[in-house]
């Protein structure tokens, strides 16, 4: 099915099941420990051995020698896999560096060997007996230093320009020119990267934690040099990903190589201290923002430049993306530059681009509002636009940013905010409020599904879509139930298996809208088959209350399939609506903080997010997504930072003891409001994504609240108390 015109009224609009705040259907399994994660699959591959990865002890250079003799003699050792005996390995198109290093080393903790043994403890002990000698070489580990050699990325959209930014900025009566920095950050998901692999002849099955099943299958096949049809990937439950499990990673490949060498199933999990340097992370940025305005607050010039780094062949952090679209202004410029760094691979982390970009832009907007002596919300609304500022001929399909900000201001009590920093005190605490706009593009992806109606009248949905804790099982079941007129208890959902039709997968905030649209398409096919078997006209058949009816005749679904099941399979593909209309999601984040007047300690006191993100398919799971994203935003603002050893080239705090994330005591009352909207240009579901919108802007809202409370403007994240104390001397940091 192709979606290339605005969706008129369709069965989803009945909203008998879709749009309801139903409990997650996978919740009881997870609460009772019955949801099998990859490393826990003892039933599918009996007699599995255990692999333990040996990680590189240098960041750049070569392996001179690797002595395996003592490790091979260790108790329980079955085999050891290295680049020398693994056979010729290709490279998946989504991997920046080889997943198995040797002799060249691309980054610290790159996998260089896998020791396979009867037990995990034996594999770990033997791995510590592998003796590797290196020829370490100098590397580039500091973005600030490497920035001078950064180059324009190959992407056609690395730079954009409209009007004459330099001239307009020079003539602007009111100007801001400031530099902001965001650090490297870790996904820090609960479930580690873990896989179990088993070969059957020349075919391999991998039970793994992977957000994008088909991508993983393609890249595994390419790396092994075998047909895609010889690889099956199964990932029904994932304990968090945030983009860190979008791609094939070392533990999955090495489980496959280990199983082939050991001739038996092998499971491999990355120990937590090895995850941060071995897998991907959100790269650091240096961002320069320049804004010029008239005295009455109309932006005449806006420029945003960003520098980030990655391994050779990597990609930039697209931190200028939102600046191209969020505010009006006739003269515009954005630019990205990419430095080569010998750090672990930088790649997608929840809301890549917009999350760190808004951390800078939305402070700059507040700083500009202060220069203009305008309320920060009024300044944002004054520069609202209903068209793409870089392509004025392209309108937004929906854009309700101003409404989000106004509603949030009323609900949060913004009128009580004192514009003068440091004007509100609660005992030892200086109290302030901050705001930031939220923005994240709406992306759609082709997505397929198969829906069967079995003899009992149960609908069974099969798609390789994944659930990373986001509620995919539930919204997919709601979609099928709505389309077929069944109670949700009569729908079973099977996910995360490459044997099923290829879906959008979980990433980029496209998963919920796109995967349910694919189920919608399959259900349309199934509805046609059901109506024809019942002798009804498919064009006017109505599905409700477990039956199909037309022209005054109603037939129970169970009776239609009593002699044999019916199947509908299709995929949702998209035309050019996303080119005719700019499709985005919007919101407003409001934060109140307290800053200890003596110590500089920061405490978030309350938070509010108002979101405009199309039809909300399940308000309960959507709220969970947003409050989780808000929590990540607090972490990014106040504590998260991968500390780099700039001599040796690795992230020092590579575990959850040193890499700090928010805990329950850090997170206060959170409120989420969803505007009642549908976007018929997006999909037949008229939905968008919301899981990444919730993090976009939170960091800046916290920073702006800290400034309003204390008068300290910190432009270098994270905003730690030492920076606040230093800023109390009167300078921006």
* Residues carrying an active site annotation: 692
C-alpha to C-alpha distance for 375 and 385, rounded to whole angstroms: 18
DSSP structural state of residue 708: H
Torsion angle of C-alpha atoms 20, 26, 29, 33, degrees rounded to 10: -120
β-sheet with 553-556: strand ranges across: 542-544, 547-550, 553-556
Strands 429-441 and 584-596: antiparallel
Q: What is the 3-state secondary structure (H, E, C) of 226-292?
A: CCHHHEEEECCCCCCCCCCCCCCCHHHHHHHHHHHHHCCCEEEECCHHHHHHHCCEECCEEEEEEEE
Question: What is the H or E stretch that residue 234 is in?
Answer: strand 231-234
Query: 560 and 374 in contact (C-beta within 8 Å)?
Result: no
- Order across the sheet with 299-310: list the strands: 159-162, 331-340, 299-310, 285-293, 174-182
DSSP for 423-465, written as a single string = --EETTEEEEEEEEEEEEE-----EEEEEEE-TTS-EEEE---
Is the preceding omega at residue 243 within 30 degrees of 0, hence cis?
Answer: no
Q: Which two tokens stand for residue 637?
A: 């603002």
Question: Could you write out the DSSP letters of every residue in 530-586?
Answer: HHHHTT--GGG-EEETTEEEETTEEEEHHHHTTTS-EEEEEEEEE-SHHHHSB-EEE
Q: Which two tokens stand for residue 405?
A: 């900000």
What tokens were used for 451? 């829906």
Beta strands in 597-664 (DSSP E): 602-612, 644-645, 650-651
d(CA 285, CA 716): 10
* Cβ-based neighbour number of residue 341 at 10 Å: 29
């Amino acid at each position: 099915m192709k979606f290339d015109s605005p969706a008129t009224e369709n069965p989803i609009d009945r909203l008998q099941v879709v749009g309801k705040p139903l409990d997650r259907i996978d919740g009881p399994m997870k609460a009772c420990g019955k949801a099998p994660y990859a490393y826990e699959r003892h039933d599918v591959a009996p007699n599995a051995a255990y692999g333990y990865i040996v990680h590189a002890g240098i960041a750049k250079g070569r392996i001179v020698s690797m002595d395996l003799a003592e490790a091979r003699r260790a108790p329980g050792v079955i085999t050891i896999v290295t680049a020398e005996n693994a056979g010729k390995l290709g490279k998946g198109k989504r991997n920046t560096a080889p997943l198995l290093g040797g002799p060249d080393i691309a980054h610290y903790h790159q996998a260089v060997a896998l020791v396979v043994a009867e037990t995990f403890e034996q594999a770990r002990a033997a791995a510590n007996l592998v003796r590797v000698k290196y020829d370490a070489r100098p590397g580039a580990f500091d973005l600030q230093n490497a920035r001078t050699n950064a180059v324009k990325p190959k992407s056609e959209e690395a730079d954009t320009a409209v009007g004459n930014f330099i001239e307009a900025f020079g003539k602007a009566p009111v100007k801001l020119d400031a530099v902001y920095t965001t650090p490297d950050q870790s996904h820090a998901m609960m479930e580690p990267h873990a896989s179990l692999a088993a070969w059957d002849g020349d075919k391999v099955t991998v039970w793994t934690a992977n957000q994008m099943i088909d991508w993983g299958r393609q890249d595994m096949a390419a790396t092994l040099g075998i047909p895609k049809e010889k690889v099956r990937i199964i990932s029904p439950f994932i304990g968090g990903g945030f983009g860190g499990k979008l791609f094939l990673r070392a533990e999955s490949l090495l489980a496959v190589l280990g199983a082939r060498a050991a001739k038996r199933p092998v499971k491999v999990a990355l120990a937590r201290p090895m995850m941060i340097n071995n897998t991907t992370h959100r790269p650091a940025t240096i961002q320069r923002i320049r804004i010029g305005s008239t005295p009455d607050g109309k932006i005449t010039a806006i420029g945003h430049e960003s520098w980030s780094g990655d391994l050779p062949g990597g990609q930039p952090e697209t931190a200028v993306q939102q600046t191209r679209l969020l505010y009006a202004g006739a003269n515009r410029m954005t630019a990205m530059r990419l430095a080569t760094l010998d750090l672990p691979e930088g790649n997608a982390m929840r809301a890549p681009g917009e999350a760190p970009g808004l951390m800078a832009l939305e402070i700059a907007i507040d700083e500009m509002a202060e220069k203009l002596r305008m309320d920060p919300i009024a300044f944002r609304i004054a520069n609202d636009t209903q068209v793409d500022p870089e392509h004025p001929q392209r309108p937004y399909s929906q854009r309700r940013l101003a409404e989000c900000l106004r509603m949030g201001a009323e609900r949060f009590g913004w009128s009580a905010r004192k514009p003068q920093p440091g004007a509100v005190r609660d005992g030892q605490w200086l109290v302030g409020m901050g705001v930031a706009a939220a923005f994240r593009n709406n992306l759609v992806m082709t997505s397929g599904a198969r829906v069967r109606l079995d003899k009992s009248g149960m609908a069974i949905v099969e798609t390789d879509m994944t659930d990373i804790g986001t509620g995919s099982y539930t919204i997919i079941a709601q979609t099928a139930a709505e389309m077929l007129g069944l109670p949700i208890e009569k729908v079973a959902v099977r996910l995360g298996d490459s044997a099923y039709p290829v879906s959008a997968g979980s990433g980029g905030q496209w998963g919920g809208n796109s995967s349910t649209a694919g189920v919608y398409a399959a259900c349309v096919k199934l509805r046609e088959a059901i109506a024809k078997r019942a002798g009804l006209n498919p064009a006017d058949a109505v599905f409700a209350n477990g039956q199909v009816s037309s022209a005054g005749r109603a037939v129970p679904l169970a009776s239609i399939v009593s002699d044999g099941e019916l199947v509908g399979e299709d995929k949702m593909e998209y035309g050019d609506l996303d080119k005719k209309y700019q499709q985005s999601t919007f919101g407003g984040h409001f934060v109140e903080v307290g800053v200890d007047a003596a110590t500089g300690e920061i405490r978030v006191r309350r938070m509010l997010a108002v979101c405009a993100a199309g039809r909300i398919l399940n308000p309960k799971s959507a709220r969970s997504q947003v409050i989780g994203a808000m929590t990540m935003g607090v972490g990014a603002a106040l504590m998260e930072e991968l500390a780099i050893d700039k001599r040796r080239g690795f992230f020092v705090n590579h575990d959850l003891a040193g890499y700090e994330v928010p805990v329950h005591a850090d997170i206060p009352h959170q409120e989420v409001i969803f505007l009642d909207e549908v976007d018929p240009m997006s999909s037949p579901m008229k939905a968008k994504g919301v899981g990444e919108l919730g993090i976009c802007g939170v960091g800046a809202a916290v920073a702006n609240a800290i400034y309003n409370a204390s008068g300290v403007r910190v432009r270098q994240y994270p905003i730690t108390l030492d920076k606040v104390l230093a800023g109390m001397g009167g300078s921006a940091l």
